Amino acid sequence: MSAESPTPDEGRTTWSLDDSGQVATILVDRAAKLNAFTPQMLLDLERVVAEVEASEVRLAVVRTGGEKVFCVGADITLFSQLSSVQMWRDWIGVGHRVFNALEALRCPTIAVVDGLAFGGGLELALACDLRIMVDGARLALPETGLGTVPGWGGAGRLPRLVGAARAKEMIFARHQIDAARAFDWGLVNAVAPREQLEETVQRWITDVCTSAPVANALAKQLITAALEGASPHLIEGLAGGLSLATEDLREGVSAFKDKREPEFTGR
């Protein structure tokens, strides 16, 4: 599940399974450079996401290397050397393709934002379903201060979470958002002190993984479709009908009648 070992400056993107085989951890690791993305790291993330999608995991947790910095986004020294065509095709285009694939994973995803998340780092977290943030971290989209704009979905995903006015504040004025404001705005789902971060993450992992995996996957697609304008009446009817054919629904009903915890298999 891991690529050949690059140097610390090159970075790596890998994934691993927990002992239960239910939870995948996606690790974006270039700690020596604040986890700034290189083109190869984007391609590695694309490969990793495809492998996770092909697995039977119930949840994917996105983490980054080092401490105090989640990810500062794209490596400025690399993208500033590109031509306009290369920027459009090989940097922004690939980034959108990869982050869209992450967003579209069948299983739910959690980003563990354990430090600063700027630019593409925040966009990486935005491509996940849920975000858990350490108290003391900050979020920002500072691209306009460099003379460019968010390039990996920030201008689309951020307004859906916090509204257009707040998204414009973060982009136009480059205001950094602390954990309390991020939670108040609905930008993150939970905030924890660093000493309680792993406990909080594990609690969310347990809560997600004890739900029926097929139902979670269906619900994720329902929410996405509804946000894109599909009729909830229509798509919920179809998904509810599909759930009737699953072993998980029969197990859930049986467990409810027996007053016990269900043991879902994802079938």
Q: How many domains does the chain fold into?
A: 2
Question: Which of the four pLDDT bands, split at 50, 70 and 90, describes residue 1?
Answer: very low
Please identify which of the residues 56, 123, 195, 228 carries the catalytic annotation: 123
User: How much of the chain, in percent, has pLDDT values that exceed 90?
Assistant: 63
- Whether residue 7 is contained in a domain is answered as no
- Whether residue 2 is contained in a domain is answered as no
16-36 residues labelled b (16+ CB within 10 A) or e (exposed): eeeeeebbbbbbbbbeebbbb
Quick check: helix, strand or coil at residue 155? helix
Reply yes or no on whether the pLDDT at 8 is more than 70. Answer: no
Is this prediction's pTM over 0.85? yes
Are 70 and 114 contacting, i.e. CB atoms less than 8 angstroms apart?
A: yes
Are 52 and 106 contacting, i.e. CB atoms less than 8 angstroms apart?
A: no
Is 123 catalytic? The answer is yes
> Residue 163 sits in which domain range?
12-209
* CATH number assigned to the domain comprising residue 109: 3.90.226.10
Lowest-pLDDT range, 58-67, 88-97, 240-249? 240-249
Question: Which of the four pLDDT bands, split at 50, 70 and 90, describes residue 236?
Answer: confident
- Whether residue 267 is contained in a domain is answered as no
Are 186 and 68 members of one domain? yes
- Whether residue 66 is contained in a domain is answered as yes
Please identify which of the residues 10, 143, 247, 263 carries the catalytic annotation: 143
- Whether residue 4 is contained in a domain is answered as no
- Whether residue 5 is contained in a domain is answered as no
Are 162 and 222 members of one domain? no
pLDDT at 82: 65
Is 67 catalytic? The answer is no
Q: CA of 186: how far to CAs of 3, 52, 74, 99, in Å?
A: 36, 27, 25, 20
Are 155 and 238 members of one domain? no
Q: CA of 39: how far to CAs of 72, 255, 260, in Å?
A: 14, 48, 49
Are 240 and 159 members of one domain? no
